[in-house]
Structure formats: C-alpha cells, structure tokens
C-alpha cells in the first residue's frame, strides 16, 4: 500500500508536525483553507469512519480539543470547523480530521484560494 499519510508517519516525507503521540500525528495541511489549518492523522492506517475503532476516534477528538485551545492561544482564531470526509470526497484514503481555523469576516468557502500566510510562518507562530 502506498499511502502518503503512512509515509509521513514513518518519516519518509517531512511534515510540519505540531503534536505527536503513540496514537496520532497532528500536522499543518500543505493546502490550507485558512491560516493554521491542521490535520489529525491516526498512526495506524484506517481508511475511513467505517473501520476506525472508537478508542482511536475518541483520542482524535481529545487531541482536537487541545489543538483548538492551542490555535486560540497562538493564532487568536475566532472559531474552528472540523471536517472529515469518507469515500466520495476523501482525497487521501487514510482517516484524517481537518481542523480549519475560522476568523471573523473570513468569508470561508472551503477553498484553498483564500489569502493565507506561508505555512512555515504560521507553524513558527504556533510552536513558539
């Protein structure tokens, strides 16, 4: 199986990792919808919501809460949209949760065409 997320988790592909433990990796999305857009990816390969176990799913939600606080503290976001696709619309067939920061008057249309800062710049703000 050639899964880009599995290759990132193995360290074969570099990522802007914000948080990692034995269950998940949280990294910056390389095609962000807004400043601070992150992905939470389980280290074990699950295709979608049908085959992920509830323990891992619950852990992902706990980490999402922590990342919400981190984004509020570091980027002063006004809100957060969580998005997770299954089958149709799922570009990478490895379960992952999008954390999409929202800002007042962002007029976000879930498109990567919105004006955003450089990923490295945003990553450095989050990690300091």
68-95 pLDDT, tens digit per residue, is 999 999 999 999 999 999 999 899 999 9
Question: Which one is catalytic: 45, 59, 94, 96?
Answer: 96
**Domain encompassing residue 26:** 4-127
| The dihedral formed by the CA atoms of 112, 70, 18 and 122, expressed in degrees to the nearest 10 | 50
Known catalytic residue at 96: yes
Contact 33, 100 (CB under 8 A): yes
DSSP 20-83: E-SSEEEEE-SS-SSTT-EEEEESS---STTTS-HHHHHHHHHHHHHHHHHHHHHH--SEEEEE
119 close to 10: Cβ distance less than 8 angstroms: no
The first and second tokens of residue 12, run together, are: 């074969």
pLDDT 10s digits, 27-49: 999 999 999 999 999 999 999 99
Alpha-carbon distance of 22 to 25, in angstroms, equals 8
Which CATH number do you get for residue 16?
Answer: 3.30.428.10
The pTM assigned to this predicted structure is 0.92
Number of structural domains (the chain) is 1
């Amino acid at each position: 199986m050639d899964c880009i997320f599995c290759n990132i988790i193995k360290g074969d592909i570099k990522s802007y990792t914000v948080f990692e433990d034995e269950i998940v990796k949280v990294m910056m999305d390389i095609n962000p919808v807004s400043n601070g857009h992150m992905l939470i990816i389980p280290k074990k390969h699950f295709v979608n919501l049908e085959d992920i176990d509830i323990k891992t799913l619950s852990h992902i939600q706990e980490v999402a809460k922590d990342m919400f606080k981190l984004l509020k503290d570091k980027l002063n976001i006004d809100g957060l949209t969580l998005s997770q696709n299954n089958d149709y619309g799922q570009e990478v067939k490895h379960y992952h949760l999008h954390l999409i920061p929202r800002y007042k008057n962002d007029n976000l249309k879930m498109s990567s065409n919105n004006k955003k800062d450089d990923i490295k710049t945003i990553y450095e703000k989050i990690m300091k």
